[in-house]
Amino acid sequence: MLKSPYDTDCITWSPQGRLYQVEYAMEAIKQGSLCVGLKSNQFAILATLNRAPSKLAEYQQKVYMIDDHIGLCFSGLTADGRLICKFLRTEALNYKYTYGTNCNPGRLVNRLSEKAQIKTQRSSKRPYGAGCLIAGFDEHGPHIYETNPDANFYEYYAFAIGSRNQSAKTYLEKNFETFPEASRDELVKHAIKAVKVSAQGDVELNGKSVSVAIVGQGQQFAFIDENEVERVLESLNQEMEVEV
């Protein structure tokens, strides 16, 4: 990457009106692991494609529990993702200690965006090099939020971030209208299939390389069992063979 005199800090604008450090952070997300989030009327699902540095290493965890009703997955720099996770856990715990109730997911996302914006306004800091998909459940139902290093956040019916996310987005766009009435098992299957269509054979898909988590009505945030993930992958492979 060419050195620019305008990328030494995050408050120096280029003549074209660009903040290069923010753009670098956004690019880090595009090169990170694939993350998928989708929701129905009752549940919200997070699914990730985990990577391993080598064949001798374990897969890196990308999905984390924040509270009983909130979880996140991140794409980008792992260190920044874990720092965001620690911040959200602290905020959720402080809110519960102060008010005696669970923190609203939207409020928590807003606090994260406020913190992310500070990183773009002081020359001594840098933007987070990680983007998150946050799944939560409150009195209004399940939610899927996306947060960015530029402090923007959005709520979606379904979304995907990370490397090769366009294939997953295309699949979600074609099927999202069926998600509201989908059952738990159907929603899990859609999440795993969205990951599968983006994998393109660059990693072996199994219960360890694909992580899936769920939260919803009567369901605290929890990880889907590896055996169940492998059963869904096997059924998807059989469906593809039949189509061929």
Residue 6's nearest CA partner among 17, 116, 127, 124 is 17
Mean pLDDT of 104-120: 94
pLDDT at 239: 79
Rounded Cα distance between 191 and 35, Å, is 10
In the chain, where the domains are located: 32-51+59-235
- Choice among 176-190, 194-208, 209-223 with the minimum mean pLDDT: 194-208
Is residue 181 classed exposed, middle or buried when 0-12, 13-18 and 19+ CB atoms within 10 A define those classes?
Answer: exposed
Which DSSP state fits 39? E
User: What SS3 class is residue 137?
Assistant: strand
Q: Which helix (H) or strand (E) holds 63?
A: strand 63-67
Within 10 A of 175 (CB to CB), how many other CB atoms are there? 15
Residue 4 confidence (pLDDT) above 80 = no
Tokens of 130: 């990680």
Mean pLDDT of 115-131: 91
* Helical axes 184-199 vs 226-243, angle rounded to 10°: 70
User: What SS3 class is residue 146?
Assistant: strand
Per-residue pLDDT band for 2 (boundaries 50, 70, 90) equals: low
The answer to whether the beta carbons of residues 76 and 28 sit under 8 Å apart is yes
141-173 pLDDT per residue, tens: 999 999 999 999 999 999 999 998 999 999 999
45-100 pLDDT per residue, tens: 999 999 887 777 888 889 999 999 999 999 999 999 999 999 999 999 999 999 99
Rounded Cα distance between 117 and 12, Å, is 15
pLDDT at 243: 60
Residue 220's nearest CA partner among 87, 140, 102 is 102
Residues 6+ apart with CB under 8 A from 233: 192, 196, 205, 206, 207, 210
Please report, rounded to a whole number, the percentage of residues in the chain having pLDDT higher than 90. Answer: 73
pLDDT at 122: 87
CATH code for the structural domain at 32-51+59-235: 3.60.20.10
Residue 136's nearest CA partner among 39, 203, 242 is 39
Per-residue pLDDT band for 16 (boundaries 50, 70, 90) equals: confident
pLDDT at 118: 92
Prediction pTM value = 0.92
Residue 102 confidence (pLDDT) above 60 = yes
Residue 189 confidence (pLDDT) above 90 = yes
User: Rounded to the nearest 5°, which phi and psi values hold at 85?
Assistant: -60, -45
Rounded Cα distance between 34 and 160, Å, is 7
Tokens of 111: 């606090």
Residue 18 confidence (pLDDT) above 70 = yes
Mean pLDDT of 174-188: 94
